[in-house]
Amino acid sequence: MIDVSFAQIAGFLAAAALITLAPGPDNLSVLSLGLSRGRRAGIGFGLGCALGCFTHTLWATLGVTALIAASETAFTLLKLAGAAYLVWLGIGALRSPGATLSTDTGGQAGDDPMQPYLVRGFVANAINPKVALFFLAFLPQFVDPAHGNVAAQTALLGTLFAAQTVLIFGAIGWYAGTLGGWLRGRPAVGRWLDRATGVLFIGLGIRLALAGKN
């Protein structure tokens, strides 16, 4: 059994929630997709990002992230791959004709299927070296060596981080999809929402490509 204190977990969850709520690439993507493509798209992308957190937890636990931090080549290759993927998503959104509400959904937001966006969110998060380095820096701050089994504590904290991400991103995707349902009922607005989403993804890709380790 993993030996962790209540204060250790409470402090970690409070910090994790504040970080997850702070405007950043992942929650902005969830928000924009919820507005432009509906609830299932926003929630799916958010769930994918949360699943990506599990990969970073695994790498941090095994020490792989430390190797990425030490290797400029590995960091650069992952960074460029992640940037290219975000730009590709942005171009796809720019080329979209715009989402509209179908008559068989009763005017409910969330017409797009969830699975493709879940995969996109997972890939976008999992291959982002900035997120990997964040986990490497953040999780150890809440690990107490006095409780033993540092790797198990790291795995537990990473799992808790992913769990609270599911809740927060799910809520953002849900409410953004609700508002987006009203907006997407107007075709011209739907097209501009997709354009804005495309610009956001391309901007995030460029930002990632230019980012350093710190």
Q: State the DSSP code for 18.
A: H
Q: What is the SS3 assignment for 114? A: coil
**In sequence order, which residues have a C-beta less than 8 Å from that of residue 195 and are 6 or more positions away?**
93, 94
Other Cβ atoms closer than 10 A to 190? 22
Question: pLDDT value at position 106?
Answer: 38
CA–CA separation, 186 and 159 (whole Å): 40
Please say whether the beta carbons of 198 and 93 come within 8 A: yes
Residue 164 to residue 21: CA distance in whole angstroms: 10
pLDDT for 166: 94
One digit per residue, the tens of pLDDT, for the chain of length 214 reads 567 788 889 999 999 999 899 888 898 899 999 988 889 999 999 999 999 999 999 888 887 777 777 788 888 888 888 889 889 988 988 887 655 444 334 344 445 789 999 999 999 999 898 888 888 888 888 888 787 788 888 889 999 999 999 999 999 999 998 887 776 666 666 677 778 888 888 988 898 888 776 6
- Predicted confidence at residue 161, as pLDDT, reads 96
Q: What is the pLDDT of residue 16?
A: 93
In the three-class reduction of DSSP (H, G, I as helix; E, B as strand; rest coil), residue 107 is classed as coil
